[in-house]
Every structure is written in structure tokens, then in C-alpha cells.
């Protein structure tokens, strides 16, 4: 079901509560933002509302304060950065509901921007408390959800407020739903998915759902050890999810029955210990030493994956190909990212650590879409209904 967007409302002169995802990474102890991409992603919606003389009231969480006030998780640094990006003042409120928030909203003029304090300073936010939601909704006339990264949570600011206000999607939310939705429902073919990350258990539902959609499935990352073990390969000291071996065998069998090409690594980079300074070498999957760890996909696997990807018109990637946080073992992830950046295809990066890797490599602008939602994009690709999306007003 298509959802209404900011284009379907008349925000002129209205108080518009916008749920944004300003849960940005901070440099420990400095109060400085280390990556402002989530703030920048919200700019089109904010500017659209400001151009129409709305009073823009922004709400977000930052970190996990567990319902308590944590000074290091106040949103003042975010307001400063947003002000720089907008080129206009961004005021802050000392609370997200109550007298202080109401006073700050009542002082707003058309075209003003106000950032409420961290929603999760109140335990009622994550509990989707009705009174908290009503108080938050009471600050505004309209509600816009532009926080795809929190759309998989049924919180007061994502679903509760929609019971009291007309609720529509912002441009970022619309873009996320459009790219991810089209990939699952009507992708340009051939369609491939690259799935990585540490554990099969974290991606079981994704693998089950995506196998029904794709023409080719490429599996890397730490999870490939469980798949290789399922095929009776020696994987050394690498983590094997013994309780997922049957699932892995079943997925391999199902790919054969349904004609989906499932590609596992042919070679790997292994290390003598799980450490950034470990001794490393590249081996065939048939020659993994018993006391070594699988750390990354190897160069031949990169070539194998690239050969498949170059045939494709749609690619969805979720999960790094190795221990990307260790420089010595980031080559597989970097090579796949560069391969995708050069493709003449729709390339969708599924949020979380994959998005972080693409951002760090400076390749985000060369992808069709980099999702801002880690958990949300994963659940969407699993085929789940996201509460924060379902709560928005339908087009029809």
C-alpha cells in the first residue's frame, strides 16, 4: 500500500512534527559528530517544509540512555551541525514534551526550526506510552516520519503519535520504501543479492526471503564458514553455528531446486589468530588450516562474485565480506564495493555496517541507494511489515 508523503499535506503556517533519525556516531568524550550522513539525509524534507513556511519541530533519539538523562546524549551538537547545514538557526528545547517543550514551540515563527531533546530520556518513548505520544502530538498539527532507521520500532514517536495527527512520510522514508520495495517486488533482472556478516542466525529470514526473489545469491563474510562446514569443508577455528548447519544445507538444496545460482567463496584470507596484526595468507576453501581463522574472501572469490555481478541490473548488498574493521582484512569488502560502484545497475546498500563501509570508502555517492536503516532495512528485506511505515496514512 502506497503511503502519503509531505507532498500530500498543506504545511503552510502549520506546526509540523518531523521524526528524524539523528542517532549519529559521536567521537567519545569530544561532543563531536564523526559522521553526519543521517543529518544530511534529512535535509530535503526539512527544506521542503521550510520553503512552505512551516514551523518545523524535529524529534529524535541519540544513543541508548535507557529512559534517563545522560548529558553526553543531549542533542545540542546535532542542532549545531544541522544549523551549519541549513544556514539558519536551529533552536533546541530542554525536553521533548511538557512545559519547556510547549514554551519553545509557542515561541516559533513560520520558517523556524526547533529540535526537541532526546526522546529516549523518557522511558515512555520506547514503551509507546499513550500519554507520552499524546503529549508529543499535542505540540503539532501534522506529523511527518522521515526516520526509516527507527521504522521497525513501535515507539511513541513512530507509531503512537499517528493516532492523534495526520501522518505522512518524508522524502527519505519515501526513497527507502521505493528502492527497497521495488527491489523485492519488481526488480530489473538479472537480480543478485550479496549477503555477508558474522552469523547465519542473524540473516536466516533475509536469506529465506531473498532466495525467493533473486536470480543469484552470493554469500561471504563470517557466515560462509557455516555454509562451507555444511558442505564438509574444514574451516579451522572459525565460528560455526552448529545449529544452523541444517538450515545452510537446506538453503543450498533449495537454490538448486529453484534454479537460483548460489555462489560461495572459492578462496579465503585466513589468519593465525583473530587479531588485526595476525599473520595472514590466502588459501583455497579446501586448504583452510585447522588452527586458523577465516577473516575475508579471497581474490579469486572477488573475481567470481564480480563476474556474476556484471551480468546484473539490480543488486542488493547486506553484510561485509570479512572483518572489515581490521585493515588487513577489508580487501574483500572494499573490492566488492568498488565493483558495485562501477556497475551500470541499480545498486542498493542495506544499511548498518555495509553502509558504514561504503561511506568510509567514499563510494556512497556512486551507489543508487545507501539505506540509513540497519535493523529496519534488514527487517524490510526479510519481508516484515515495519510498524512505523504501517502507521502512516495510505495514499488511497
Report the C-alpha gap between 390 and 159 in whole angstroms: 8
Query: Which CATH superfamily includes the segment(s) 6-175?
Result: Phosphoglycerate kinase, N-terminal domain (3.40.50.1260)
Report the catalytic residues: 38, 199, 352, 375
Report the C-alpha gap between 160 and 155 in whole angstroms: 6
Nearest to 56 by CA among 4, 124, 104: 104
Return the pLDDT at 30. Answer: 79
Query: Which CATH superfamily includes the segment(s) 187-381?
Result: Phosphoglycerate kinase, N-terminal domain (3.40.50.1260)
In this structure, what are the phi and psi dihedrals at residue 231, rounded to the nearest 5 degrees? -100, 15
Whether the CB-CB separation of 356 and 349 falls below 8 Å is answered with no
pLDDT beyond 80 at 9: yes
- In angstroms, how far is the first alpha carbon of the chain from the final one? 8
Q: What is the pLDDT of residues 301-345, one digit of tens each?
A: 999 999 999 999 999 999 999 999 999 999 999 999 999 999 999
Whether the CB-CB separation of 381 and 371 falls below 8 Å is answered with no
Q: What is the pLDDT of residues 268-292, one digit of tens each?
A: 999 999 999 999 999 999 999 999 9
Q: What is the pLDDT of residues 85-106, one digit of tens each?
A: 999 999 999 999 999 999 999 9
pLDDT band at 295 (very low <50, low <70, confident <90, very high): very high
Whether the CB-CB separation of 125 and 138 falls below 8 Å is answered with no
pLDDT band at 254 (very low <50, low <70, confident <90, very high): very high
Report the C-alpha gap between 213 and 181 in whole angstroms: 12
Query: Torsion angle of alpha carbons 6, 10, 14, 17, nearest 10°?
Result: -20
Return the pLDDT at 29. Answer: 78
Start and end residues for every CATH 3.40.50.1260 domain found in the chain: 6-175, 187-381
Report the C-alpha gap between 337 and 55 in whole angstroms: 40
Return the pLDDT at 244. Answer: 97
Average pLDDT over residues 70-82: 96
> What is the DSSP pairing of strand 314-318 with strand 191-195?
parallel
Where is average pLDDT lowest: 29-38, 127-136, 143-152?
Answer: 29-38
- Average pLDDT across the chain, whole number: 96
Residue 293: how many other CB atoms lie within 10 Å: 25
Nearest to 180 by CA among 7, 2, 334, 371: 371
Average pLDDT over residues 115-131: 98
Report the C-alpha gap between 293 and 197 in whole angstroms: 15
What is the value of pTM for the model shown?
A: 0.91
Whether the CB-CB separation of 244 and 298 falls below 8 Å is answered with no
Query: Torsion angle of alpha carbons 384, 388, 392, 396, nearest 10°?
Result: -10
Return the pLDDT at 129. Answer: 98
pLDDT beyond 70 at 1: no
Amino acid at each position: 500500500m502506497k503511503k502519503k508523503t509531505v507532498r500530500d499535506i498543506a504545511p503552510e503556517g502549520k506546526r509540523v512534527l518531523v521524526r528524524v533519525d539523528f542517532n549519529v556516531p559521536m567521537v567519545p568524550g569530544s561532543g563531536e559528530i564523526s559522521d553526519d550522513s543521517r543529518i544530511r539525509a534529512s535535509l530535503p524534507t526539512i527544506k521542503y517544509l521550510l520553503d512552505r513556511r512551516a514551523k518545523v519541530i524535529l524529534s529524535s533519539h541519540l544513543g541508548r540512555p535507557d529512559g534517563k538523562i545522560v548529558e553526553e546524549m543531549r542533542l545540542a551538537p546535532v542542532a549545531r551541525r544541522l544549523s551549519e547545514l541549513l544556514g539558519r538557526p536551529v533552536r533546541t528545547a530542554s525536553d521533548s514534551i511538557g512545559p519547556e517543550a510547549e514554551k519553545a514551540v509557542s515561541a516559533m515563527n513560520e520558517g523556524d526550526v526547533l529540535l526537541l531533546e532526546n526522546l529516549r530520556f523518557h522511558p515512555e518513548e520506547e514503551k509507546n506510552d499513550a500519554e507520552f505520544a499524546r503529549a508529543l502530538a499535542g505540540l503539532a498539527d501534522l506529523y511527518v516520519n522521515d526516520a526509516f532507521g527507527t521504522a521497525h520500532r513501535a515507539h511513541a514517536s513512530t507509531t503512537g503519535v499517528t493516532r492523534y495527527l495526520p501522518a505522512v512520510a518524508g522524502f527519505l522514508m519515501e526513497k527507502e520504501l521505493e528502492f527497497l520495495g521495488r527491489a523485492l517486488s519488481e526488480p530489473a533482472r538479472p537480480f543478485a543479492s550479496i549477503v555477508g556478516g558474522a552469523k547465519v542466525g542473524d540473516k536466516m529470514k533475509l536469506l529465506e526471503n531473498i532466495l525467493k526473489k533473486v536470480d543469484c545469491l552470493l554469500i561471504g563474510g563470517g557466515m560462509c564458514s557455516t555454509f562451507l562446514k555444511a558442505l564438509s569443508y574444514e574451516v579451522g577455528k572459525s565460528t560455526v553455528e552448529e545449529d544452523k548447519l541444517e538450515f545452510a544445507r537446506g538453503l543450498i538444496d533449495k537454490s538448486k531446486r529453484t534454479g537460483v545460482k548460489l555462489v560461495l567463496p572459492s578462496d579465503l584470507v585466513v589468519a593465525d589468530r583473530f587479531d588485526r596484526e595476525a599473520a595472514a595468507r590466502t588459501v583455497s576453501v579446501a586448504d583452510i588450516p585447522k588452527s586458523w581463522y577465516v577473516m575475508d574472501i579471497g581474490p579469486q572469490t572477488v573475481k567470481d562474485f564480480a563476474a556474476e555481478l556484471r551480468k546484473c541490473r539490480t543488486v542488493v548488498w547486506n553484510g561485509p565480506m570479512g572483518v572489515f574493521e581490521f585493515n588487513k582484512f577489508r580487501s574483500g569488502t572494499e573490492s566488492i564495493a568498488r565493483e558495485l560502484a562501477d556497475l551500470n545497475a541499480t545498486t542498493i546498500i542495506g544499511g548498518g555496517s555495509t553502509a558504514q563501509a561504503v561511506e568510509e570508502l567514499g563510494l556512497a555517492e556512486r551507489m543508487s541507494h545507501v539505506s540509513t536503516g540497519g535493523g529496519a532495512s534488514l527487517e524490510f528485506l526479510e519481508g516484515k511489515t515495519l510498524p512505523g511505515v504501517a502507521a502512516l496514512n495510505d495514499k488511497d
